[in-house]
Amino acid sequence: MLHAQDNGRQVRLSGGLNAYAGIYTSNGIAGRNQPHPFGLSGAVTLSLPGGVSLPFSAVVGNQGTSFRQPFNQFGVSPTYKWATAHAGYRNISFSPFTLAGHTFLGGGVELNPGKLRIGAVYGRFNKAISTNLSDPDAIPAFRRTGYAVKVGYGKPGNYVDLVMLRARDDTNSIDRLQMSPERSTTPAENMVIGLTSRLLIIKHILVEADAAVSSYTRDITSAPVQAEGKSAIYRLAGKLITPRLSTQLTQATQAALGYQSKWGSVKMQYKRIDPNFQTMGAYYFQSDIQSYTGNVTLNLLKGKARLAGSYGRQFDNLAANKNARTGRSVGSLMASLNPDPTFGMDISLSNYGLSQRAGLRPLIDTLRIAQNNFSASANLRYSVLNKDYAHIFTFSGSHQQLSDLNRSTASQTENNSQNASLGYFLNANQSGFGANLLISYTQTSLPGTPADDPGKLKFYGPTLGSNYAFFKKKMTTSANVSYLVNRQASITGKVLTATATAGYQLAKKQTISINLNYLNSDTGVEAEKFNEFRGNIGYGISF
């Protein structure tokens, strides 16, 4: 998809071509590549006046051929001062619960003279898809057209907008008689009215609010009914649309109150989305949820330390029509300390809980979900810096544990894992030489494995790498070797991986490169041993 702005008047052609040839061998497994792969690839971009860019790319070789160009979905959005026009394939957002990024084929405008905010779009949101003998598995869809309008006041970051979206399926766009019962679909209609705002009430205090009411008719051929209800929203919807047996009126709301200053920030958020809330201006919504979230950050020691924490609760079954209600709780805490450029430390904790309680029916204890997932991680870094060399030492460790609070299912679900790694990185500032060493260790206790079982799954091993630049840095080289051991019960496996690369700049826009890769895998099972080698040489030119 393309975006255009009036920022250029020249026609330019840029891109590059790459040719490659290689060799591939394997032993112990069926080949996963051609024995002698070769090919030519290229990418070209044509830049037109007005900022329009047309990218093309192609690959030709014995591994396959492909060609890509942008004309399947072409769209432009030129801007002049406070006016923007949209034409072609576009995806635009007016608010989170109305027009929220759905791609349409059509046109529109957005006008922002001063503090006035006006927007309008119209187009095809879905194209017609019919089932036929040549493609019996195609999912049928009606041609859907719609429009959205926005009227508001303010500036980015401090505004109030009123938005309306209306879309409808064309009942004559496909032949419903050809639909099979399994692929049957019905024409739908949707009208959404929403309010979105970002308001800076006083200095440092920000209020965010998004609300919408959606009238969604799943079958516009169903019988009309009289709109009922004491709510003004129901009475208004009954005047703007034709209520039918398949019409459902739902609401969505989210709001936040935040305070931010030099010392940190505090933010409280609330969200409620009714069951089955939908808008034809968005692809997907998680509905039937109600959540509360709080976030706090603290900047300490003149910005050298930072604390951040959050906690939230979420529930479903808002209509009380499910067999069970599921609740989720999420908490996190992060601490960061950077007293000077040579030392830094980050520590984070998080906890995710999941529980259920009875809804329409009592819950059987053996099927009740009650789990807790805890994770902790720490990262430390220390540097020794001078004009010739940079030495960087790193350490990271993590722990993750899933606890099942239901004794009936704990033996099949509980697991935990630990990971630790120690790294050293060397960089010579003048010569361009670099080296690194990383040693890692991971162990995992799977469900049904006692915590003290020596047969738990373990992975450990070193990784060594280096890089160097020759001939006034026209030639760059790198090499990496890793050796990973894995153990479970009495089985020990080993994986050796080695790579080497080299690149040389022949001219200002011409390069030649060589890549080598070797893999030797021994899982401890004789029938699963294999090794393979890949190598290729390439030439590239850019223009």
- Model-level pTM? 0.80
Q: What angle do CA 506, 510, 514 make, to 5 degrees?
A: 75
Q: Which residues contact 408 (CB under 8 A, 6 or more apart)?
A: 365, 366
Q: Would you state the pLDDT for residue 138?
A: 74
Say if residue 180's pLDDT is above 80: no
Provide the pLDDT for residue 525.
81
Residue 232 in this model has a pLDDT that exceeds 80:
no
pLDDT at site 455: 56
User: Mean pLDDT, to the nearest integer, of 429-450?
Assistant: 85
Give the per-residue pLDDT at 450.
55
In this predicted structure, the answer to whether residue 521 has a pLDDT above a threshold of 90 is yes
Q: Which two tokens stand for residue 310?
A: 């959050």
**CA separation for the pair 478, 498 (Å, rounded):** 11
Which residue would you say has higher pLDDT here, 55 or 84?
A: 84
Check the CA dihedral 148-154-156-160 and report its sign: negative
Residue 360 pLDDT more than 80? Answer: no
pLDDT at residue 249 tops 50: yes
d(C-alpha 185, C-alpha 177), whole Å: 11
DSSP characters for 132-148? BTTBTTPPPB--EEEEE
Question: What pLDDT does 3 receive?
Answer: 41
Taken as a whole, the chain contains a residue count of 543
Q: Band of the pLDDT at 50, cuts 50, 70, 90?
A: low
Residue range 91-113, pLDDT digits in tens: 999 999 999 999 999 999 999 99
Say what the pLDDT of residue 387 is.
87
pLDDT of residue 441: 96
Question: What pLDDT does residue 105 have?
Answer: 94
pLDDT band at 2 (very low <50, low <70, confident <90, very high): very low
CA 41 to chain CA mean position, Å? 28
Mean pLDDT, all residues of the chain: 88
Residue 362 pLDDT greater than 70, yes or no = yes
* DSSP-assigned letter for residue 233: H
Tell me which of 134-148, 157-171, 231-245 is least confident: 231-245
Domain boundaries, the chain: 91-287
What mean pLDDT is predicted for residues 307-316? 96
pLDDT at 366 over 90: no
CA distance 180 to 131: 9
Does residue 235 register a pLDDT over 80? no
